[in-house]
Chain A
Amino acid sequence: MYLWILYLSSVYQRLSQLLNEIDGGTAVKRHCGADPHRAVTELIDLSTVDVILISNYHCMMALPYITEHTGFTGTVYATEPTVQIGRLLMEELVNFIERVPKAQSASLWKNKDIQRLLPSPLKDAVEVSTWRRCYTMQEVNSALSKIQLVGYSQKIELFGAVQVTPLSSGYALGSSNWIIQSHYEKVSYVSGSSLLTTHPQPMDQASLKNSDVLILTGLTQIPTANPDGMVGEFCSNLALTVRNGGNVLVPCYPSGVIYDLLECLYQYIDSAGLSNIPFYFISPVANSSLEFSQIFAEWLCHNKQSKVYLPEPPFPHAELIQTNKLKHYPSIHGDFSNDFRQPCVVFTGHPSLRFGDVVHFMELWGKSSLNTVIFTEPDFSYLEALAPYQPLAMKCIYCPIDTRLNFIQVSKLLKEVQPLHVVCPEQYTQPPPAQSHRMDLMIDCQPPAMSYRRAEVLALPFKRRYEKIEIMPELADSLVPMEIKPGISLATVSAVLHTKDNKHVLQPPPRPTQPTSGKKRKRVSDDIPDCKAVKPLLSGSIPVEQFVQTLEKHGFSDIKVEDTPKGHIVLLQEAETLIQIEEDSTHIICDNDEMLRVRLRDLVLKFLQKF
């Protein structure tokens, strides 16, 4: 029992750290260019982690590293869309990497003395020694097979001690925030949430209320950009380029914002006169992504859900495909080479521009100023992404679309939800370095948010005081409550505690067992009382006059009462007995007459309350 209390406080931190580690997987990749090793720090022994909660499909890219190579034996929880789309993202990544096998990979540069001498960004990369090779599809499948599927608002019992519940976070298909709670404490983990109405189910804010601690992470990476404005800009730049006979390249992930972009274009192309322009979506998982998006009706916003009830596909890209306006291909080889027509719009990955089919299009179109590349994914700095392709003649438009919470939305959310404490990464507690005067670009709440840094252990500010226990009905029936103060009743409980799977139950005490047989020779030690039968504490005071009256009623005579500075002494002269009565104590001094002593004891107890 001890163990899990200890464990509980540490697992909260572990979980959050771990989730950040996985979140961090994407961030680290930014530095890795075409060699996406991943850092999974050795900070904690992952074999001691019991549970991993996945917030959304972008947050699980490092999962195989944990489940396959660290001795991790716990359970991973995620929603079905998270797993299915997460699988597609990993599959695409693996496919891109495996297309360009490397005969050998350099590792000597990771030596700190050499790395220091290298040009930026290599010399600034952190913890390069922990970078790993990209996983294989086999590892992906094995990792995914360890995931337990869960639904929104499903209560999942962990070891009988804690309950975790995923809630819709509104950011992506199946994206979740998590409630981690015991009967008396509640921690919310809010990561990658959105209050905008796009395709996913809206964020569930109400269930986050009454949190003792709210861990807040995964805010927008571009707090100054308004996603709606960016979508407008995206469409108009796209139309302009195409009308002038140029091609548009959109480096993107195969799932997520692309669904919203296709929907906007669906509404936009006819009015913009783009009906004859082909849209190509090139990814090894393009077909799967488009298909999967249509089958998660239950995870979609209300509008899309009602379409399924008709029954119609929830996303209009089904119609774009049917009318041949949108075509998808696994890669630029094969069918695509035959169908390829310019000018056109190409959606393809990888958004870092370091690998995947996008590299080919950058090289094909980079030299003409008619063409445009439009960056919509916020994960990568577009300048860094473009650096190796310079000089470029093609136009570059930066329209980052990040629907996650901005700081205005955060303060609205916190006002609504009112957690006792907010915990967040350090960078959210100060304005971004590039805009240090923008005091509005940080979390502002009362009490101030507690911040954590990478690889830091944070003690959460609450003390556990109570635990749930169940009183069996038979025991409850035997309790005798008495009212001590108006509205407050007490009952003393003597019961047997049973604990199984971290569930505690109080059962009635066993009936005193009858001596088994009289034949057995009694040993002295048999009579020694079990000191573990606890007597209750006493409280109250004894009114002397009434006490004396009671004594008389019970046949004591010759009673004398003497006053002392602190109380009284009652003398039973006949019995050579003396009873000292004070405010908070009673002392019975008598001869060794057990009958007498017990009689007196019971008379005294009548005046006292037992606890």
Chain B
Amino acid sequence: MPEIRVTPLVGAGQDVGRSCILVSIAGKNVMLDCGMHMGFNDDRRFPDFSYITQNGRLTDFLDCVIISHFHLDHCGALPYFSEMVGYDGPIYMTHPTQAICPILLEDYRKIAVDKKGEANFFTSQMIKDCMKKVVAVHLHQTVQVDDELEIKAYYAGHVLGAAMFQIKVGSESVVYTGDYNMTPDRHLGAAWIDKCRPNLLITESTYATTIRDSKRCRERDFLKKVHETVERGGKVLIPVFALGRAQELCILLETFWERMNLKVPIYFSTGLTEKANHYYKLFITWTNQKIRKTFVQRNMFEFKHIKAFDRAFADNPGPMVVFATPGMLHAGQSLQIFRKWAGNEKNMVIMPGYCVQGTVGHKILSGQRKLEMEGRQVLEVKMQVEYMSFSAHADAKGIMQLVGQAEPENVLLVHGEAKKMEFLKQKIEQEFRVSCYMPANGETVTLPTSPSIPVGISLGLLKREMAQGLLPEAKKPRLLHGTLIMKDSNFRLVSSEQALKELGLAEHQLRFTCRVHLHDTRKEQETATRIYSHLKSILKDHCVQHLPDGSVTVESILVQAAAHSEDPGTKVLLVSWTYQDEELGSYLTSLLKKGLPQAPS
């Protein structure tokens, strides 16, 4: 029995933090994403690849690896996986992801190795070697991984270059959403997929229960909070990832500053982010329609009010707004600034996205106000802490919408929290009447599939059937009869006649002739005439003919009347038919055996 197997590797299912999912479909093994967990600093941050294969090489086992987007929880373990564990097969991702991914990896490596002094980490060279294995894909392009396995990318919103992937072998398919966003925002469009009816849809469920209020309200709220804080002289820290939310919020603040004619400085932590804006300019075809339409007149990613940040600015007096990386306050510049500003209640930190457990971001969001920092130092948080969900993940409504678009046979939830997923699972099962799964880490979900078998049907046979299907009386289902010729892996359905001919076989004709004795004293011709009118009156749907030689035919069945050699009062009817007319022939004999109705006198 063919089946599809899905195993979220440790750290993927029922847990936001890192994605890495193993899918087996029709004998092909595909790894979806290769993320790392930002809350851990030890071995637990990478998925356990020994699960995939105990002793063989990964390259022999995996047919390909697909990366949905450049966030580190989806691609952070890639150099470790390909260079340190060892994988030489193809890695697929979109062009923007391919461009941006190595930069984020390098950034991450620097923080881990140079700042924290971690050993046994991948090197810059490993990132380069890893990226050489990447094959870039276009949206909607069908990429033939091998003769049977094909993949196709769909636009996912979320971040620049994010994609959902369809993985298809024959008529079986799986769709993996990665992270996606069903509502267009200020810089990206909404995810979209066609009605591809996959056997299984694997969807993220970060915001499984949240139905977020309208975007406009959230934006207004955000601007109000920022504005109020700077008005009273406070500093606003917005921890962001260099690419993604940062650009959306910059566009938002830039237009607000312009409208309100504000002079308070807005800074963007340097390095990566300037570069990031440049990526947005060059990959503008991946942004939303409005930005694409107007980019010649005004490129939305050239900001007037937002300037590069210098470390020294953090100690400047007076209000300011600073975007700093990384987004979960787990390291780097955002954490440094946070430590400087945390003690002042006039200041504010706005967390515009989700924070993984174990990060400072997660701690302050869950209400912790005394943080233990390195060296047993305790940091008291007096500044205001605000959470605003600007993460471009689909909310419950969005997830339901996508399920409706793709019309999958089954749904599997990953990248979420168990309790919330349970709620969503019930909702999906109720509304769409499909099975919904939410495997734990390392737990395998097995779905039996029953793929239909494609064969070639001869056009002659098909046309004949279709033509008869067009006749008005053909309302009831008709049976198509043919012969399936199987030669190697070539399957062809042809008419029986053609099958015989192709194989050089002669038809064997099986004919029956039944003698029916009938009491009738009249002459043979008269008997024949009576038989004709009798049959004609009963078999209205059939072609009944009276031939000049005195015989009667019903379709291709022949009825002849002869005198009985011994009994002149009896006629012998010879009813003759071939095996192909078996039912009708048999029926006729039994009908005639009952005798003819009395002739009207």
Q: Which residues of A contact B (CB under 8 A)?
A: 1-2, 5, 80, 150-155, 165, 183-184, 287-288, 291-292, 294-298, 305, 308-309, 311, 313-314, 464-474, 476, 479, 481, 484-485, 487-497, 499, 504-506, 509-510, 524-525, 527-541, 583-592, 594, 597, 601, 604-605, 608-609, 611
Contact, CB under 8 Å: A585 / B513: no
Residues from chain B with Cβ under 8 Å of A524 in the complex: 538
Instruction: Give bound CA distance, A464 to B171, whole Å.
Output: 24
Q: Is the CB of A585 within 8 A of B459?
A: no
A592 touches B478 (CB 8 A): no
Chain A residues whose C-beta falls within 8 Å of the C-beta of B512 in the assembled complex: 587-590, 597, 601
Say whether A471 contacts B455, CB under 8 Å. Answer: yes
Instruction: Decide if B456 touches A152 in the complex (CB within 8 Å).
Output: no
Say how far B467's CB is from chain A's closest CB, in angstroms.
Answer: 7
| One of A150, A183, A288, A497 near B140 (C-beta < 8 A) | A150
B450 located at the interface, meaning its Cβ lies under 8 Å from any Cβ of chain A in the complex: yes
- What separation, in Å, do the CA atoms of A533 and B458 have in the docked complex? 20
- Residue on A with the closest CB to B449? A473
The CA of A36 and the CA of B578, in the complex, are separated in Å by 73
B window 233-260: CB within 8 A of A: none
Chain A residues, CB < 8 A from B492: 466
Are B499 and A490 in contact, with the CB atoms below 8 A?
A: yes
Across the interface, A2 reaches (CB within 8 A) one of B466, B511, B540, namely: B466
Query: Is B98 interfacial (CB-CB < 8 Å)?
Result: yes
Contact between B511 and A493, CB atoms less than 8 A apart: no
B481 touches A525 (CB 8 A): no
A-B pairs, 8 with minimum CB distance? A529-B583, A466-B456, A473-B450, A611-B496, A1-B466, A470-B452, A537-B496, A309-B99
Bound CA–CA A531/B541 (angstroms): 10
Give the CA-CA distance A469 to B462 in the complex, in Å: 9
A466-B457 in contact given A152-B141, A532-B479 (Cβ < 8 Å): yes
| Of the residues B143, B171, B511, B581, contact of A585 by C-beta under 8 Å | B511
Asked whether A492 lies within 8 Å of B506 as measured between CB atoms, the reply is no
Smallest Cβ distance from B70 to chain A, in angstroms? Answer: 12
Q: Is the CB of B589 within 8 A of A592?
A: yes
> With contacts A151-B138, A291-B296, A488-B485 known, is A80 near B507, CB below 8 A?
no
Q: B497 interface residue, CB < 8 Å from A? A: yes
Q: Which residues from B are CB-within-8-Å of A298?
A: 95, 136, 138, 285
- What B residues does A492 contact at CB under 8 A? 481-484, 496
A108 and B470 alpha carbons, distance in the complex (Å)? 54
Nearest to B452 among chain A residues (CB) is: A470
Determine how close the nearest CB of chain B comes to the CB of A59; give it in whole angstroms.
Answer: 21
Inside 8 A of A597's CB, which chain B residues have their CB? Answer: 512, 514, 586
Complex Cα spacing A303 to B452, Å: 44
Tell me the minimal C-beta distance from A288 to chain B in angstroms. Answer: 5
Q: Give, as a whole number of angstroms, the nearest-CB distance from A147 to chain B.
A: 15
Task: Give B554-584 as 1s and 0s: 1 = Cβ < 8 Å from A's Cβ atoms.
Answer: 0100000000000000000000000111111
B275 at interface, CB cutoff 8 A = yes
Contact with A along B86-123 (1 / 0, CB 8 A): 00000000010011000000000000000000000000
> Least Cβ distance of A534 to chain B in Å?
4
Q: Are A305 and B507 in contact (CB under 8 A)?
A: no
Residues of B within 8 A of A (CB): 95, 98-99, 136, 138-143, 171, 275, 278-279, 281-285, 295-296, 450-459, 462-463, 465-467, 469-470, 477-488, 492-493, 496-497, 499-500, 503, 505-517, 538-542, 555, 579-584, 586-587, 589-590, 593
A538 CB contact (under 8 Å) in B99, B281, B459, B509:
B509
A589 touches B141 (CB 8 A): no
Q: Are A529 and B584 in contact (CB under 8 A)?
A: yes
A294: chain B residues at CB < 8 Å are 282
A487 touches B496 (CB 8 A): no
Contact between chains at B579 and A535 (CB < 8 Å) = yes
Evaluate contact between A297 and B466: CB separation under 8 angstroms: no
Contact B486 A488 (CB under 8 A): yes
With a cutoff of 8 Å between Cβ atoms, the chain A residues found around residue B140 in the complex are: 150-151, 154
Whether A533 and B479, one on each chain, are in contact in the complex, defined by CB atoms closer than 8 angstroms, is yes
Q: Return B231 CB to nearest CB of chain A, in Å.
A: 37
Chain A residue numbers with a CB within 8 Å of B138 are: 151-154, 298
Interchain CB contact under 8 A, A533 and B463? no
- Asked whether A488 lies within 8 Å of B503 as measured between CB atoms, the reply is yes
The CA-CA distance from A305 to B485 in the complex, in Å, is: 50
Q: Would B513 and A587 count as touching, CB distance under 8 A?
A: yes
- With a cutoff of 8 Å between Cβ atoms, the chain A residues found around residue B278 in the complex are 311
Is the CB–CB distance between B457 and A467 below 8 Å? yes
Q: Which of A295, A313, A472, A476 has the most CB of B within 10 A?
A: A295
Picked from A288, A314, A534, A535, the residue with its CB within 8 Å of the CB of B296 is: A288
Chain B residue, CB-CB nearest to A166: B141
Q: Are B282 and A313 in contact (CB under 8 A)?
A: yes
Contacts A490-B499, A592-B515: A504 and B509 contacting too (C-beta < 8 A)?
A: no
Q: How far is the CA of A80 from the CA of B286 in the complex (A)?
A: 12
Residue ID in chain A nearest B131 by CB atoms: A309
Residue of B nearest to A604 (CB): B510
Q: Can you list 5 A-B contacts (CB < 8 A)? A: A298-B95, A533-B583, A537-B500, A591-B514, A605-B510
B452: shortest Cβ distance to chain A, in Å?
A: 4
Taking a contact as CB atoms under 8 Å apart, the answer to whether A493 and B141 are in contact is: no
Closest to B482 in A: A493
- B284 to chain A: closest residue by CB: A295
Give Cα distance in the complex from A476 to B450, angstroms.
10
Given A154-B142, A533-B479, A487 contacting B487 (CB threshold 8 A): yes
Docked pose: A472 CA to B499 CA in angstroms: 22
- Residues of A contacting B482 in the complex (Cβ-Cβ under 8 angstroms): 492-493
- Chain A residue nearest to B505 in the complex (CB): A539
Q: Bound state CA distance, A481 and B491, in angstroms? A: 12
Cβ–Cβ contact B285 & A491, under 8 A: no
Give the shortest distance, in Å, between A134 (CB) and chain B (any CB): 24
Task: Kindly list chain B residues whose C-beta atoms are within 8 Å of the C-beta of A587.
Answer: 510-513
Please indicate the chain B residues that have their CB under 8 angstroms from the CB of A308 in the complex: 95, 99, 282-283
- Interchain CB contact (< 8 A) of B486 among A464, A489, A496, A540: A489
Q: How far is the CB of B200 from chain A (nearest CB, A)?
A: 17
- 20 additional A-B pairs beyond A497-B478, A586-B509, beta carbons within 8 Å, are A2-B470, A154-B142, A165-B142, A294-B282, A295-B281, A308-B99, A469-B457, A470-B452, A490-B486, A492-B496, A496-B480, A497-B480, A504-B462, A510-B477, A535-B579, A585-B511, A589-B514, A592-B517, A601-B510, A611-B499
Q: How far is the CA of A586 from the CA of B509 in the complex (A)?
A: 6
Q: Are B511 and A586 interface neighbours, CB within 8 A? A: yes
| Closest-CB distance, B536 to chain A (whole angstroms) | 13
Which residues from chain A contact B459 at a C-beta distance below 8 Å?
Answer: 5, 464-467
The residue among B279, B285, B485 with the most chain A CB atoms within 10 A of its own CB is B285
Rounded to whole angstroms, the CA-CA distance of A1 and B464 in the bound complex is: 11
Q: Are B479 and A534 in contact (CB under 8 A)?
A: yes
Chain B residue numbers with a CB within 8 Å of A474 are 450
A586 to B510, CA, bound (A): 5
Contacts known (A183-B456, A531-B584); A488 close to B487, Cβ less than 8 A? yes
CB-based nearest A residue for B484? A491
B507's partner among A287, A527, A537 (CB-CB below 8 A) is: A537
CA distance A184 to B450 in the complex (A): 24
Which residue of A is nearest B513, CB measured?
Answer: A589
Query: Who on chain A is nearest to B537 by CB?
Result: A524
Query: Which residues from A are CB-within-8-Å of B509?
Result: 538, 584-586
Residues of chain B within 8 A (CB-CB) of A80 are 285
| Distance, CA A297 to CA B586, complexed state (A) | 75
Closest chain B residue, CB of each to CB of A530: B583
* Contact residues in A for B479 (Cβ distance below 8 Å): 494-496, 509, 532-534
Question: In the complex the two chains form, is A540's CB within 8 Å of B463's CB?
Answer: no
- Chain A nearest CB from B187 CB (Å) reads 15
